[in-house]
Structures are given as structure tokens and as C-alpha cells.
Amino acid sequence: RDFNERCAQCSEVNWGLTDGGRFYCRSCHNVTERTREVVNTDFITNSRVQTISKGLRKQEKNDAGCEWYICEGFQLVLKKQAEALEALGVCPQMKDEILCNFWRCYLQKSKQAYCKRPAGETVKALSVCESSTDVDSDPERPSLLHLLSSLSESEGDLQTDCSFASSVSKVSDSTSVYSGSVDGSLYLMKNQKEKLRMTMPMTLSFCYMALLWLREPITLSELLRFVVEGHIPYLNVFQHFPEKMKLCGLDLRIFCVESWPVYEEVFNKMHELAAFLDLPRFPDITDSCFLHPDMLCMKYLMEANLPDELHNWTCRVVKKIGIGEVDFLTLMPGNRSTRKVKYDVLAAAVIVVVLKLLFLLDDHYEWLLSEFAEERNKNNTEGGPYFEFKKWYEVVKQSLDVEQKKLDEERAKYLWRCEKPLFYSVKNKSKVLKRRQMVVNLQNQFGKLSGSVRRAEKPNPSSFQLSWSEENTDGSCFHGHSLKGVLQEKCGLLTAMNPDYWLCTVKLCNEKLCGHLAHYREVEFPQSYHFVLGLFSFLLRIQPSYIHDEVCMIEHKLFNKKLYKKLKYNTVLRK
């Protein structure tokens, strides 16, 4: 209280004491070299020893841990995620330079650090901090009851995090109103319109933004799949927090999630973040980058067990409609005129369009071509075998059903409760640990009686979920198969024997109004088309409707002139 110097960083007079006795600014978290002086009674009579920190007295009394802020918690989460990505082979530059600078810029833009706090917000922060650090304050904190009730009425957007709201309500009243962090209650009351508030899904948005800046060979769908497989910390990541960082009460609504990350949410938040941080144009996505459609199409053709010759056709489509151009693929934050590119979904949609061009996918033409190819393969003694769509469908569907069933079982057996139990005070710590040990013992005993096998260790991460080897003699690999059965030479160029094409939709919807370019209903489309969408939906772990949107967009770019003439002709007829 007797230290009245202004902070060199933000010019505020709002000092606190670290565990080591140094002064730090509560507004910008700047730590000074100045320490608290201690008076020793051995040398001076009629004097007493002054305490180093009020927080230490509180820690000894209530075991509340050290003071920490919500932004520090998210910083630890980002650090763990960056270390996991680095272990997967990502450039070390991502953690120490790119992601760190993005995070610092976010803290400054959101006015949580590296800047002056607004006066009104400083008063709120001071009131919360004083009530949380004062030893003589009321232990029931009746003022926070009003904060909690107002949160439940106004903050409905946090339900997207699927937080432990139900768990918080089950905790006793004396603990549910508390927050282990200093600014937990204030953090939840911030106006969402003014600042982009940090959430757990946004940590993945930060990671994807850093990966995109470095043009690393990891797509968003792969990033989210690594999260689900447990290779990147996300679910129950708070159990890696230091022991002194107590997590309770309102903190559970922020750091505890009970749902898998959603592709659209992480993707949209990444673009909001890039615009919020006023980032410049990202590094160019050229044809040599992994995120280019030509590169990704090659990868997904291999994983979908399709012929290698299809890659020539995907490259032709990409070049024809201009989706391989640098300006189209490179992210320009804040530019509303450019379309937000989902690189993995775009590549999958290009493959679907090529399959429609060659095989039509109308539940009739592709089966006729399969019968023709089967007859040719019986008499074919030279060159590679002709590609049979029917045989490919049977082989891939069998493998896909097995993998889908395995995925559904793993998700059904997933234990959402973290291994590290949460306790709120020293009094119930022993009880919680004892109950947890009893639960583990009972699970082991019932597991032995039922004969259930223990969960195997998680496999090493891989970019491919379905693998096909050309060395197999059972003919299950179609990479080397020929497309001669569906192509014909015309004017020195190979063209499709199929002269027809059906459009998914004649007119696109307004994506800003309804969220989709076109509406997808399985009953309205052929089963072959639905199967191909389902295959890439499994590989990317997204809904088929998002791939369908990209397919419609590519079709309208590809047949733009014909569609314009048709719409103009229909308009004339109506008149």
C-alpha cells in the first residue's frame, strides 16, 4: 500500500506482490525489480516484521493457491498445444515466434496486457482483485452471487463450449460462486461485441492460424482429428495446470469442455481472429505448397483408393475455374470480397466433380461402365486393368464400414471425466481422492469379471486413415488402374465418353443468410453420389453438406456460361 510509483508500462498505480516478494502491476502484469522491504526485530526495538504478501497468508489459510488470470490459463493451453504440434514435426518457429506473437498481439488488442486498461474496467478489476485477496473479507462473498445470476441470464453464447455448467450447479453454494482465478467472474461478463473473448475452441483457431502462416502440411480437418485422437491437448487440458493454479467455480465454464471441436466454429473463429488482430496478407499459397488443390487432390485420391490418372483431370478442373490461383488461395484478413477457402474441403469437392464428369454418379451410368470394364478385364492381357466402379465401391465400402464402426465405438467409450480429480478445498481433498480410487478399483474389478480388454495405447498419428498397398494380390488397390473404359480420344485430347452432366442445384443460395450455398438432403440425390460424399465426409470428419456446398460452387464456376444462357432463355419464355 505504501508503494505509489507509477508502472513504467501502463502508468497505472495498481501493484501486487509475487510469491518471491517482487512488485507486479495488476493491470499489465509487468514485474519490476523492486521488492518489499522486511523489518527485522533483532536490530530494531519496538517494531514488528511486515508480511511479504497477503496472498501467501491466504494460501496458508484456505489453500486457495496462487493468484492467476484467465489469460495465463489459455497461455498454458496454447503452450501445450504448440509443444504437441512440434512433437508431430511442425517447425519449431511456430511456437516461439509465430504463435507467441499472435498471442501477444491478441492480449494487446483485447486490452488484457501490454497496454493501458480502460478506466471503467480497471475499477471492476480492482474490486474483484481486492475482494479476492483481502484476508479479512467476507468468506461467503455475497457480491459474487449477483454476478453469477447475471451471467446465467446474459451469457448464453458459452453453451457452444459445452462447459461444465451442470457440474457447477451441483457444487455447493459456497464454492460455486468462487473462482480459482482472479478475473474469472469478470472475464465471463465482458461484452462480446467489444472484444473477441478467448474460448477453448479459439485455442485451436490460434494453432491453425499459425500453421497456415507457416504453410505447414496440416489441414484443419487433420488438426481436429489429432485433437480427437488425443495427440494434441484439448479435452481436460486443465489437468496439466500447475498445482498452485486452482481451478474451480466459474473457471470450469471456461476451461472444461464436453464436446469435440467443430470444424465450422474453429474455421470461422480463425478468420475473425485474423481480422481482429489486423494481420497482413498471409504468405502466398503457390502450386508447390501442400495446401494447393493439386497437392491435396493427390493425397485424397490415394486415400480414397482411386486411380492415379484421375489427378490429371482434377488439375484440369482446378486450372479451368481458377481455384488454383495465388490470390484465390491466399488469406487476406479483413477482405470481405474474397471467399474463405477451406483447402481440404475444396480438394475433396474437386474429386467429386471429376467423378461426376466421368461416371455421372446417377445410379445407372456408372454401373453400365463397370459391366463394360469387367468384360474388357476378362480379355485384357496387356497393360493395367480397367477401373471398375462397382468393384471399387464394394472394396471401399467394406473398409469404410469397419473404420466407421471402430470410430463410433471409440467415441461411445470415451471417458469425458478427467483422470485428475478436481477438489475445491483441503477439507474435501482426501474424500475426493478416496472416492476416485474406489471408482478406479471398481472399474478394474468389473473389467476382469466381464472379460473386457483394456484400452490399447493410442497409435502414432498418421495423415492417412485408410491405407491401400499395391503389393496386395487380392486386387483391393485401384491406384494403378486405367481409365480407358471411360475415356475417348477426340481431336488429340482424351475426353469423357459421357456427354451428360447433372447439376446439384441450378441456383445458389445466399451463404450469408442461410449459411449454405445449397441445401443437401440424402433422399433427393443418387446413392452413388451420397456414398462418395460420405467417404470424404469420413476422411475430413465433417458433415456431407459442407462438401456438397463446395461441389455446387465448383459446378457453377465450371458451367457458368451454359447456366447463364439457360437462365436467360427461361426468363424470355416467362415474358
User: Which H or E element spans position 186?
Assistant: helix 184-188
First-to-final CA distance of the chain: 83
Under the banding of pLDDT at 50, 70 and 90, the label for residue 138 is: very low
Highest-confidence segment of 224-228, 238-242, 246-250, 333-337: 224-228
pLDDT at residue 348 greater than cutoff 90: yes
Verify that 475 and 547 share a domain, yes or no: yes
CB 183 within 8 A of CB 125: yes
Question: Could you tell me the pLDDT band of residue 574, with boundaries at 50, 70 and 90?
Answer: very low
Question: Which of 256, 279, 302 is a domain's end point?
Answer: 279
Whether pLDDT at 377 is above 50: yes
The residue type of 69 is Y
Q: 476: burial class by Cβ within 10 Å (0-12, 13-18, 19+)? A: middle
Query: Is the pLDDT confidence value at 18 over 90?
Result: no
Q: Is the pLDDT of residue 571 over 70?
A: no
Which three-class secondary structure state does DSSP give residue 419? coil
> Number of helices and strands (H, E) in the chain?
24, 5
C-alpha cell belonging to residue 16: 501486487
| Whether the predicted pLDDT of 139 surpasses 50 | no
| Domain tally, the chain | 3
Q: Tell which of 279, 301, 329 closes a domain.
A: 279
Please tell me whether residues 550 and 524 are part of one structural domain: yes
pLDDT band of residue 160 (cuts 50, 70, 90) is very low
Q: For position 2, what pLDDT does the model report?
A: 66
Q: Given phi > 0 = left and psi -120 to 50 = alpha, else beta, which region is 140?
A: alpha
Residues 229 and 332 placed together within one structural domain of the fold: no
pLDDT at 512: 62
Q: How far apart are CA 490 and CA 496, in angstroms?
A: 9
Q: Is the confidence at residue 123, as pLDDT, over 60?
A: no
The answer to whether residue 421 is domain-embedded is no
- In a domain? residue 311: yes
Within 10 angstroms of residue 10's Cβ, the number of other Cβ atoms is 18
- Is 62 within 8 Å of 180 (Cβ atoms)? no
In this predicted structure, which of 103-117, 158-172, 200-214, 225-239 has the lowest mean pLDDT? 158-172
213 lies in the same domain as 308:
no
Higher pLDDT, 258 or 163: 258
Mean pLDDT, the chain, rounded, equals 77
Dihedral angle of Cα 219, 224, 229, 234, to the nearest 10 degrees? 130
pLDDT number for residue 543: 93
Kindly give, in sequence order, each residue whose CB lies less than 8 Å from that of residue 59, ignoring residues fewer than 6 positions away. Answer: 65, 66
**How does 95-120 read in b/e, with b if 16+ C-beta sit within 10 Å?**
beebbbebbebbbebbbbbeeebeee
Arithmetic mean of pLDDT, 135-148:
32
Does 97 reside within a domain?
A: yes
Q: pLDDT-derived band of residue 53, with 50, 70 and 90 as boundaries?
A: very low
**Phi and psi angles of residue 261, each rounded to the nearest 5 degrees, phi first:** -65, 140
| 57-71, 165-179, 392-406: range with lowest mean pLDDT | 165-179
User: Same domain for 266 and 297?
Assistant: no
For the chain, helix, strand, coil in percent to 5 are 50, 5, 45
Considering the domain architecture, whether residues 95 and 228 belong to the same structural domain is answered as yes
Residues 554 and 485 in one domain: yes
pTM of the model: 0.76
Is the model more confident about 472 or about 328?
328
Is residue 350 located within the same domain as residue 208? no
Q: Choose between 130 and 539: higher pLDDT.
A: 539
Q: How many CB atoms lie within 10 A of CB 303?
A: 17
**202 and 262 housed in the same domain:** yes
Q: Is the model more confident about 493 or about 501?
A: 501
What is the mean predicted confidence (pLDDT) over 514-532? 85
The helix (run of H) or strand (run of E) holding residue 133 is helix 119-133
Tell me whether residue 561 is in a domain. yes
Q: Return the percentage of the chain with pLDDT > 90, whole number.
A: 40
The stretch 152-169 carries a mean pLDDT of: 34
Q: Is the pLDDT of residue 143 over 90?
A: no
Question: Mean pLDDT throughout 82-101?
Answer: 93
Q: What are 24's strand-pairing partners?
A: 16, 31
| Residue 8 and residue 85 in one domain | no
Residue 190 lies in a domain: no
pLDDT in tens, 198-212: 999 999 999 999 999
In this structure, are 487 and 562 located in the same domain? yes
Q: Is residue 169 scored above 70 in pLDDT?
A: no
Query: Given this model, what pLDDT does residue 167 score?
Result: 36
219 and 75 belong to one structural domain: yes
The distance of Cα 551 from the centroid of its chain, to the nearest Å, equals: 23
pLDDT attached to residue 433: 72
The C-alpha cell at 377 is 478385364
* pLDDT confidence of residue 173: 37
Average pLDDT of span 403-412: 89
Output 536 or 24, whichever has higher pLDDT: 536
Lowest mean pLDDT among 168-177, 233-242, 527-536: 168-177
- How does 195-227 read in b/e, with b if 16+ C-beta sit within 10 Å? ebbbbbbbbbbbbbbbbbbbbbbbbbbbbbbbb
Ranges 40-49, 168-177, 249-258: which has the least confidence: 168-177
Q: Does residue 31 have a pLDDT over 50?
A: yes
Range name among 9-23, 99-113, 493-507 with the lowest pLDDT average: 9-23
Q: Identify the domain boundary among 253, 279, 305.
A: 279
The parent domain of residue 223 ranges over 67-112+195-279
Phi/psi at 286 (nearest 5 deg)?
-95, 180
pLDDT-based confidence at 213, cuts 50/70/90? very high
Give pLDDT, residue 389. Answer: 94
Q: Is residue 176 part of a domain?
A: no
In a domain, 316, yes or no: yes
Q: Is the pLDDT of residue 395 over 80?
A: yes
Q: At 460, is the secondary structure helix, strand, or coil? A: coil
284: pLDDT strictly greater than 90: yes
**Residue 457 located in a structural domain:** no
